[in-house]
Chains A and B, each alone.
Chain A
């Protein structure tokens, strides 16, 4: 359950809208179902009061939306940022992707978001109504009484491994700020590293062969902001999914992760949007873990203007051949 209420946020948004500080509000509204909350732009008080939503399903990271919205919108945009979103916000500012002057950022504390797949595993299909209170009340078309679920039991994977409850950027904060936490987010990567190369290859072949090349991971990623993407090249010959087992998927995912290496804030959006539930964040985390080990601790987006490891160097860096002496297990 979230500590702050939807009413508090609406009240804040309406106040800022009415006194002219901002001209529109980037927030969440209900989608087709109660659990597919989608991002939306609100321009009037009525819209906010009728449609604005804040609950355990408001998972979208708004930072990337600011790029297109600040370019179009007259005046300032009010944006609500959860702690993990603020890292992406800072990272985009570092890369000069939007104008900070046109954004009014309100930090909101987050208690972790719910994973609908985990809820479906408990309640089954046919969910028709979800109410988020002390507990999440899920009604299905097959049952009369709603099932009550503790939000802690259905926490999304990325929220279990939450890296920070601390906001690193905001103009105003609602509620209390938390701390950076160590939740063992590299444990899963370490587990894979301990496998033999054959096991690792089999694991990734199994995961990545499910990829349907919908490019959702790329489109949602707040670090992937190129207007022309290398994967849109129709001459590459591999822009489409291959019917046979081939290296194509691995290549796509290695390059996708590599292009955001050092800039990835580990927000976990890639894995969230994947329709095939591929654990894509593990690839990004592997890069983060490596760079922490090779070049010292670095958290992308922790501060504006920091220099990412791959655009920096020292004369004493380790040689590429030496990476095998540490970390991953050999055959």
Chain B
């Protein structure tokens, strides 16, 4: 029996106003990015509760990326500034608990940056694939 090729499952939280439109643009321009990136649309990157990220990992995600508008361009003026502080604290804490650094990332992608979106996802998927399956953060009870 042949082993199935390992492909990382990636959850991308994209803000409605910039990054989701950026992903749309990447699609319109027929730019390739891995099909295992599952996009979840959120009104603003600061809607992402740290619990969402941990729950995604718990349910079997191998990497979580949060995309928002560039600092200063938030549709709600200041949402992504709060995201920036929160995620800095959370990532530092995950690292403190010995969880791999490359599994989480924050990236600023505007609606005009379809190419950046595709490149970011390709790069992130590659890094996560190099880490392998997420063993430290999974919860067997949550897996189907």
Q: Mark B71-95, 1 if CB is under 8 A from A, else 0.
A: 1100000100110111111111111
Q: Does A79 lie at the interface of the complex (its beta carbon under 8 Å from any beta carbon of B)?
A: no
Would A197 and B90 be within 8 Å (CB), given that A237-B141, A321-B105 are in contact?
A: no
Contact B139 A258 (CB under 8 A): no
Q: For the complex, what is the distance from the CA of A159 to the CA of B128, rounded to whole Å?
A: 43
With A246-B141, A254-B50, A258-B50 already in contact, the answer to whether A198 and B98 are too (CB < 8 A) is yes
* Cβ 8 A contact of B137, one of A203, A238, A247, A324: A247
Asked if B82 contacts A246 (CB within 8 A), the reply is no
What B residues does A43 contact at CB under 8 A? Answer: none
**Residues A192 and B96 in contact, CB atoms below 8 Å apart:** yes
Whether A317 lies near B84 (C-beta < 8 A) is yes
Query: Is the CB–CB distance between A199 and B98 below 8 Å?
Result: yes
B29 to chain A, nearest CB (A): 26
Contact A313:B82 (CB < 8 A) given known A248-B139, A321-B105, A321-B106 = yes
B-side contacts of A65, CB under 8 Å: none
Contact B92 A328 (CB under 8 A): yes
Q: Give the number of A-B contacts (CB < 8 Å).
A: 132
Main secondary structure of the interface of A (DSSP, over half): helix
Other-chain residue from B58, B85, B86, B91 in contact with A247 (beta carbon distance below 8 A): B58
In the complex the two chains form, is B88's CB within 8 Å of A319's CB? yes
Q: Which residues of A contact B138 (CB under 8 A)?
A: 246-247
Docked complex Cα distance between A314 and B58 (Å): 32
Where the two chains meet, the residues of A that have a C-beta atom closer than 8 Å to any C-beta of B are: 192-193, 197-204, 230, 237-238, 242, 244, 246-248, 250-251, 254-255, 257-258, 261, 283, 286-287, 290-291, 294-295, 309-315, 317-324, 327-328, 330
The interface of chain B, by Cβ under 8 A from chain A, is 50-51, 54-55, 57-58, 71-72, 78, 81-82, 84-101, 105-106, 136-142
